């Protein structure tokens, strides 16, 4: 009797990360903790961060020149966590070099740039994914289970928002320059809430947007925080909005209200998603502290009686889950199914919101 040859374990994927600000550090930690991955290279402009994270995770390749990293490090996967205007050139370059790409949100400054990234992924036959880590929160995954159970019935309206008490990313960094960020609070944090709400609602297409934008804090130097370490230019003008509101029409007749603000006169940071369905409503809400308890509340009726349910939240997944999801897409062997199209749809909605705010009129998608 012949015994089957022992199967050798698959070679770990060779991973790289470009950008070592807060976002890049989450990707580094996620890859370093995954035994199926070897974190072989990192790239950033800050030598001290290359040394710190290189030493902490024993990363052999440390590059200030990201193109050199792509050329030399023989990567299977790369995370891009750099200022938003760099996502497009970096992603396209990596995809053309045969590397699967996970880029930070927002995908790009415009829908047009995002579309070029999707086209590059399709041409290269590689995965292009975007890190929407907030939808990996335990309350969001549990609320999705509630929606999918059908208990809320047809969802026809939702409200979502992220309002910070004081959270404009470092004034004068790339975040507050229009060319490098593509936009302000809606582009930066509103996109997480838009992603979450559409994901929870079952991905209805957005058909029209009516939005407005305001900048009442940033231009006065108010509402600043410490986020964003790179591309700092002292005294640079504040070129983006610090508050945006949008009314979105959805296919099938539903609507979604979205508000996002980097700074506002409220007691503390507030994030929420509220869903209204034909058979029930549900909400999740949290403040700025990541340690805040996760709470989901569902209102419906049982046997004709009003009922309030409080399903338990799952474990938080966040960046680790976003990276794991990306690696699963790479492992699926179906890059065509994961070409960044969903994130492109998000980018087009944000584009429509800015166009609407500029025109002072509803814009169709």
Ligand X SMILES: NC(=O)c1ccc[n+]([C@@H]2O[C@H](COP(=O)([O-])OP(=O)(O)OC[C@H]3O[C@@H](n4cnc5c(N)ncnc54)[C@H](O)[C@@H]3O)[C@@H](O)[C@H]2O)c1
Return residues touching ligand X (CB under 6 A). 18-24, 43-46, 49, 66, 81-84, 86, 104-105, 131, 133, 188, 227-230
Residue 275's Cβ-side half-sphere holds a number of Cα atoms within 13 Å equal to 34
Based on CB atoms, which residue is closest to ligand X, 235 or 360? 235
Report the alpha-carbon distance of residue 243 to residue 188 in Å, rounded. Answer: 11
Phi-psi domain of 340 (left: phi exceeds 0; alpha: psi -120 through 50; beta: other): left
- Whether residue 59 contacts residue 41, with contact meaning beta carbons closer than 8 Å, is answered with yes
- The minimum distance between CB 255 and ligand X, in angstroms, equals 26
Based on CB atoms, which residue is closest to ligand X, 43 or 356? 43
- The minimum distance between CB 20 and ligand X, in angstroms, equals 4
Q: What is the full DSSP assignment across 83-146? A: -GGGHHHHHHHHHHTT-EEEEESSS-SSHHHHHHHHHHHHHHT--EEEE-GGGGSHHHHHHHHH
- The minimum distance between CB 359 and ligand X, in angstroms, equals 26
Which residue of this chain has its Cβ atom nearest to ligand X in the complex?
A: 21
Based on CB atoms, which residue is closest to ligand X, 133 or 356? 133
Based on CB atoms, which residue is closest to ligand X, 137 or 249? 137
Asked if omega into 106 is within 30° of 0 (cis), the reply is: yes
Report the alpha-carbon distance of residue 37 to residue 43 in Å, rounded. Answer: 17
DSSP tag of 160: E
The residue length of the chain stands at: 365
Residue 309: strand, helix, or coil: strand
- The minimum distance between CB 286 and ligand X, in angstroms, equals 14
Report the alpha-carbon distance of residue 282 to residue 299 in Å, rounded. Answer: 6
- The minimum distance between CB 67 and ligand X, in angstroms, equals 9
- The minimum distance between CB 361 and ligand X, in angstroms, equals 28
Say if strands 155-163 and 270-277 run parallel, antiparallel, or are unpaired: antiparallel
Based on CB atoms, which residue is closest to ligand X, 133 or 213? 133
- Which residues lie across from 43 on neighbouring strands? 18, 63
Based on CB atoms, which residue is closest to ligand X, 14 or 134? 134
- The minimum distance between CB 201 and ligand X, in angstroms, equals 21
Report the alpha-carbon distance of residue 57 to residue 24 in Å, rounded. Answer: 14
- The minimum distance between CB 357 and ligand X, in angstroms, equals 20
Report the alpha-carbon distance of residue 41 to residue 150 in Å, rounded. Answer: 45
Based on CB atoms, which residue is closest to ligand X, 151 or 323? 323
Based on CB atoms, which residue is closest to ligand X, 230 or 245? 230
């Amino acid at each position: 009797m012949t015994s089957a040859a022992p199967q050798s374990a698959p070679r770990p994927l060779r991973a790289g990360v470009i950008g070592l600000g807060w976002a890049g550090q989450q990707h580094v930690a996620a890859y370093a903790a995954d035994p199926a991955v070897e974190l072989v290279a990192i790239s950033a402009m800050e030598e001290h961060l290359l040394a710190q994270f290189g030493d902490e995770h024993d990363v052999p390749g440390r590059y200030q020149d990201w193109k050199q990293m792509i050329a030399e490090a023989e990567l299977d996967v790369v995370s891009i966590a750099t200022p938003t205007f760099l996502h497009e050139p970096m992603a396209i370059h990596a995809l053309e070099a045969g590397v699967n790409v996970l880029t930070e949100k927002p995908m790009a400054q415009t829908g047009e740039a995002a579309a070029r990234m999707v086209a590059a992924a399709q041409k290269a036959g590689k995965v292009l994914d975007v890190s929407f880590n907030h939808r990996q929160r335990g309350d969001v995954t549990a609320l999705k289970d509630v929606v999918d159970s059908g208990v809320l019935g047809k969802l026809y309206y939702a409200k979502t928002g992220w309002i910070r008490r004081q959270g404009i990313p470092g004034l004068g960094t790339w975040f507050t320059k229009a060319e490098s960020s593509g936009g302000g609070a809606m582009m930066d944090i509103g996109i997480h809430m838009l992603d979450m709400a559409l994901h929870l609602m079952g991905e209805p297409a957005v058909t029209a947007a009516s939005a407005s934008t305001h900048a009442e804090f940033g231009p006065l130097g108010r509402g600043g925080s410490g986020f964003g370490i790179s591309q700092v230019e002292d005294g640079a003008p504040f070129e983006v909005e610090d508050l945006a509101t949008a009314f979105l029409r959805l296919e099938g007749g539903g609507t979604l209200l979205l508000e996002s603000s980097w700074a506002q006169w409220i007691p503390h940071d507030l994030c929420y998603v509220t869903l209204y369905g034909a058979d029930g409503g549900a909400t999740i809400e949290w403040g700025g502290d990541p340690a805040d308890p996760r709470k989901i509340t569902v209102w419906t009726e049982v046997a004709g009686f009003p009922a309030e349910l409080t399903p338990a939240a799952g474990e938080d997944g966040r960046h680790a889950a976003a990276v794991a999801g990306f690696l699963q897409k790479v492992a699926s062997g179906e890059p065509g199914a994961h070409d960044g199209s969903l994130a492109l749809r998000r980018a087009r909605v944000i584009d429509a919101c800015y166009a609407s705010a500029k025109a002072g009129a509803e814009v169709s998608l």
